[in-house]
Structure 1
Amino acid sequence: MSGQMEHANLFEDARSHLEDVFAAIDVPGDARERLMQPNLSLQVSVPVRMDDGSLKVFPGWRVQYDTTLGPAKGGIRFHPDVSQAEVTTLSFWMAVKCAVVDLPYGGGKGGVKVDPKQLSKLELERLARSYIRAIADVVGPERDIPAPDVNTNATVMGWMADEFDHLARGKVPAAITGKPPALGGSKGRVAATGRGALHVLDLWAEREQRKPEQTTVAIQGFGNAAYHFARLAHERGYRIVAVSDSKGTIYSREGLDPDAIMEQKERNKRLHDMVYCDDSVCIAENVEKLERDELLTLKVDVLALAALENQVHEENVDQLRCGAVLEIANGPVTGQADVRLEERGVPVLPDVLANTGGVIVSYYEWVQNRSGERWAEEDINKRLAKRLKAQSDKVFERAERDGISYRKAAYRQGIERIAHAIQLRGQCQDSE
């Protein structure tokens, strides 16, 4: 199956959750119609002058799925498999997750179809600036606020923020989040997605009367979010027994030290002057090395999925031997696999709740930029924990009260809030 077909199916799979919500709660017809399609979908050409003097043009997109609750919010990914359907799906998930945790945002997402690891650092910077020039008319602090995603980070966001300032002929720090702190970025933002996922896991474990030191965890993926989740979970006492990336899996029954693994990866960085780390977790010593997909079949208490979409699907879901699934990535479990896990009684802590730490702290960065304040990291982490506890408790209580999965409870919570806001705006809003 081609990548485009997979992404088209991904969007239909993601949107299928709406049917469950519509069948379960009273969503007026106007809201249903609006939620089935994105508000805006922009395709752009992203020209880049290469170091050898040649010009390459990469396709890019920015999608705003729904902006009823506020300006669109969502990351930008640079990846060779990016497509319009994928970006649309991601923007849909962003709309839901912002509503689930009660942020004044809609859902947005962007991407460029490119392999950034094949670019020099200067080519990467030209790509970032060219993309912002291409989408500048539809983004900004009151309309759509981009942030990091796959293969983009604080360095890339800093370039984009600087380019937006040049276009605006002024300083507009609230236009981009995930920036370096020296350019107005928020303390705590880099670790926020991983920290938020750990908060959700902690809250669930507490309800299950499960102690961290009695809980084994396997983590698929070892990017930024996965590393910080692993580091913080290890500090809390969880036993991280396996980690995988695109090149393989490492396993240790006694437990792994995420900091030691990352230190070895950092030591072996070779490409792009520290922009990307191209080495594998498999360089770690004194561990058992397995095939990449073997991680999914390990018998562990929690399987944390922190790679890409559709990692657990109909063909491999019955091979999972975990007690619970934590979705740190976006959409790592397909709809059919999700149904199967529910039938088997395997709880899934869904992405629209579990990976909201990044967008929550991006919201705090946006607030700081607009007010001209700088908050301490301790204060930001406390605010993150407080918001996640309040909204996670609502999801868990709804799931228990209605006898439904955590995913269904989260979607109902988010869509209910969006639909209510759509109705409050009145029936003639499409005449703007």
Structure 2
Amino acid sequence: MTIRPREQTENNKRQPMEDSSKISDIQQHRLKTVYEHLEISDDARKRLIQPKQTVQVSIPVRMDDGSLRIFDGWRVQYDDTRGPSKGGIRFHEDVTIEEVTALSFWMTIKCSVVDLPFGGAKGGICVDPKTLSRLELERLSRGYVRAIYDFIGPDRDIPAPDVNTNATIMGWMADEYGQIARRQVPAVITGKPLGLGGSQGRVAATGRGALQVLDIWAKRSEKSPQDLTVAVQGFGNAGYHFARLAHEAGYKIVAVSDSKGAIYSRDGLNPEPVWNHKHKTRELKGMVYCDASVCDEADFTELTNEELLELDVDVLVLAALENAVTKKNAEGIRSALILEIANGPVSPEADSILADRDIEILPDVLVNSGGVIVSYLEWVQNRSGDYWSEEIVETRLAQRLEREANACFQLAEDENVSMRIAAYMQGIGRIAEAIDHRETQKYFNGQSN
């Protein structure tokens, strides 16, 4: 792996592309851009252009009314050069094989960026889980494991939760795998309930890791959390825990949103009662809330998700789904910094527009890596049988992110590239090095020792 001299990168100009909602287009554009800055072997490029293995399954489920439904599911193992593949399983009505493939690529990069001994994978089932009863959801979860049993395992591919899946679903899946194997195999799935071999600190790990990356950026930029206003798009598990921890650290959270709408308060929000209210009423809209240290009466403005994206804040946190910011709305973004907790929330075309406007982006493959880091720690605990306290888990998460995030920041500074390019250079460089250690065309042609 060689970093290209700067003069070979056309002065680090970004290559524009037609804006597309296809995640595969984003994936290919990311690779093309990084290859302008990073010289790697043809062998590595060929290995990274497509997934190692794709499994498509049909999952029959007996519904509560006696009818039979067939659900489409996938598991894509993109690369396992550096270790068994790792990645979540999402339940969503819009899941496609293309989306799962691209997400497995991102997992490959993410695991390498933070130097985990994993490759990347992803799984998905095309279903709206909100339309299923709990019994139907369990049957579907167990049926998926039966369908992909031969392709997963602690030393082969380790699933985890993702969009619309949680610890309970992971527990069902791990239990189903164990029943088929006729033995306890807790390390086959991460993100499980504590009583089934889950790890302390896993639930808040993605949000906690994202905050740590923001803290490192603030420190390097000589900014104080108390002086930074933050808007959070996406108030699910990751967005909530980020907002809660950021509020505790002194950042001013002025807006949060979910799929139904957003709320804004110039004086700041306390995310915890907002979260509690959301789970009682299932919505943010119309919520009456006041932080006693700020005001005596509720003082909120209700916004649309689009209006939240255009707020004049210091930090815009994207914690919802892919393509939240595209060329259609990039010009309206007014934050100085974007923190990507979701996967692929900024399209390549929007990347270019935002860079031209000097809006900095902290990329998803680094920012949301806290979840997979603690998943790795859960896997280690499952295999050793030695389970750690929450304090130990959080310390090990912090140590790894401190090291790897600072390496990305330093690489971006040294090579005069964006943080996204630096993160991809760090991740792809490590994968390419591992591929090359298996030797390349030059070796077999006698051109190298």
TM-score range, shorter-chain basis?
Answer: over 0.9
AA paired with 1:85? E
Partner of 2:198: 185
Native 8 Å contact 2:209 2:371 kept in 1:
yes
Q: Check if 1:426 corresponds to 2:442.
A: no
Native 8 Å contact 2:199 2:374 kept in 1:
yes
Choose the corresponding residue for 1:148, options 158, 161, 184: 161
Q: Which secondary structure does the structure 2 equivalent of 1:242 belong to?
A: strand
Distance apart, 1:11 and its partner CA = 0.8
Choose the corresponding residue for 1:108, options 76, 99, 121: 121
| In 2: Cα distance, 1:282 partner to 1:237 partner | 25
AA paired with 2:136? E
Percentage of pairs with the same residue: 60
| In 1: Cα distance, 2:373 partner to 2:200 partner | 13
Partner of 1:220: 233
| In 1: Cα distance, 2:304 partner to 2:405 partner | 35
Native 8 Å contact 1:308 1:329 kept in 2:
yes
| In 2: Cα distance, 1:264 partner to 1:185 partner | 27
Partner of 1:174: 187
Partner of 1:390: 403
Distance apart, 1:15 and its partner CA = 2.0
Partner of 2:376: 363
| In 1: Cα distance, 2:36 partner to 2:335 partner | 30
Partner of 2:324: 311
AA paired with 1:280? E
Distance apart, 1:120 and its partner CA = 0.5
Distance apart, 1:284 and its partner CA = 2.0
AA paired with 2:121? G
Partner of 2:267: 254
AA paired with 1:327? E
Greater displacement, 52-61 / 20-29? 20-29
Partner of 1:281: 284
| In 2: Cα distance, 1:225 partner to 1:71 partner | 25
| In 2: Cα distance, 1:249 partner to 1:29 partner | 47
Native 8 Å contact 1:219 1:242 kept in 2:
yes
- Structure 2 alignment gaps of length 5 or more: 1-18, 289-297, 442-449
Partner of 1:330: 343
| In 2: Cα distance, 1:282 partner to 1:172 partner | 43
Partner of 1:240: 253
| In 2: Cα distance, 1:298 partner to 1:230 partner | 17
| In 1: Cα distance, 2:226 partner to 2:60 partner | 51
Aligned residues: 413
Partner of 1:20: 33
| Superposed CA RMSD | 1.2
Q: Which secondary structure does the structure 2 equivalent of 1:281 belong to?
A: coil
Native 8 Å contact 2:41 2:440 kept in 1:
no
Distance apart, 1:281 and its partner CA = 2.0
Partner of 2:77: 64
Q: Check if 1:133 corresponds to 2:130.
A: no
| Largest Rg, 1 or 2 | 2
Distance apart, 1:347 and its partner CA = 0.7
Partner of 1:84: 97
| In 1: Cα distance, 2:72 partner to 2:440 partner | 36
AA paired with 2:35? F
| In 2: Cα distance, 1:151 partner to 1:282 partner | 22
Native 8 Å contact 1:28 1:419 kept in 2:
yes
| In 2: Cα distance, 1:282 partner to 1:193 partner | 26
Distance apart, 1:21 and its partner CA = 2.1
| In 1: Cα distance, 2:198 partner to 2:397 partner | 16
| In 1: Cα distance, 2:382 partner to 2:42 partner | 38
Native 8 Å contact 2:109 2:120 kept in 1:
yes
Native 8 Å contact 2:84 2:156 kept in 1:
yes
| In 1: Cα distance, 2:367 partner to 2:427 partner | 14
Native 8 Å contact 1:243 1:250 kept in 2:
yes
| In 2: Cα distance, 1:350 partner to 1:292 partner | 21
Which deviations, in whole Å up to 9, do the C-alpha atoms of 1:112-170 show, x marking residues without a partner? 00000010011111111011111111101000000000000001101111001011110
AA paired with 1:418? I
Q: Which secondary structure does the structure 2 equivalent of 1:82 belong to?
A: coil
Partner of 1:276: none
- Structure 1 alignment gaps of length 5 or more: 269-278
Stretches of 4+ aligned residues off by more than 4 angstroms: none
Distance apart, 1:12 and its partner CA = 1.8
Native 8 Å contact 2:100 2:123 kept in 1:
yes
Distance apart, 1:265 and its partner CA = 2.0
Q: Which secondary structure does the structure 2 equivalent of 1:164 belong to?
A: helix
Distance apart, 1:427 and its partner CA = 4.4
| In 2: Cα distance, 1:425 partner to 1:376 partner | 39
| In 2: Cα distance, 1:427 partner to 1:198 partner | 40
Native 8 Å contact 1:14 1:335 kept in 2:
no
Q: Check if 1:118 corresponds to 2:131.
A: yes
Q: Check if 1:416 corresponds to 2:429.
A: yes
Distance apart, 1:280 and its partner CA = 1.7
Q: Which secondary structure does the structure 2 equivalent of 1:111 belong to?
A: strand
Q: Check if 1:163 corresponds to 2:166.
A: no
Native 8 Å contact 1:264 1:283 kept in 2:
no
Native 8 Å contact 1:87 1:110 kept in 2:
yes
Native 8 Å contact 1:216 1:301 kept in 2:
yes
Distance apart, 1:267 and its partner CA = 2.5
Distance apart, 1:283 and its partner CA = 4.3
Choose the corresponding residue for 2:58, options 45, 57, 65: 45
| In 2: Cα distance, 1:417 partner to 1:144 partner | 20
Native 8 Å contact 1:265 1:283 kept in 2:
no
Q: Which secondary structure does the structure 2 equivalent of 1:165 belong to?
A: helix
Q: TM-score, normalised by structure 1?
A: 0.94
Native 8 Å contact 2:100 2:122 kept in 1:
yes
Distance apart, 1:71 and its partner CA = 0.5
| In 2: Cα distance, 1:214 partner to 1:116 partner | 41
Q: Check if 1:32 corresponds to 2:45.
A: yes
Q: Which secondary structure does the structure 1 equivalent of 2:254 belong to?
A: strand
Q: Check if 1:344 corresponds to 2:360.
A: no
AA paired with 1:257? N
| In 2: Cα distance, 1:402 partner to 1:427 partner | 27
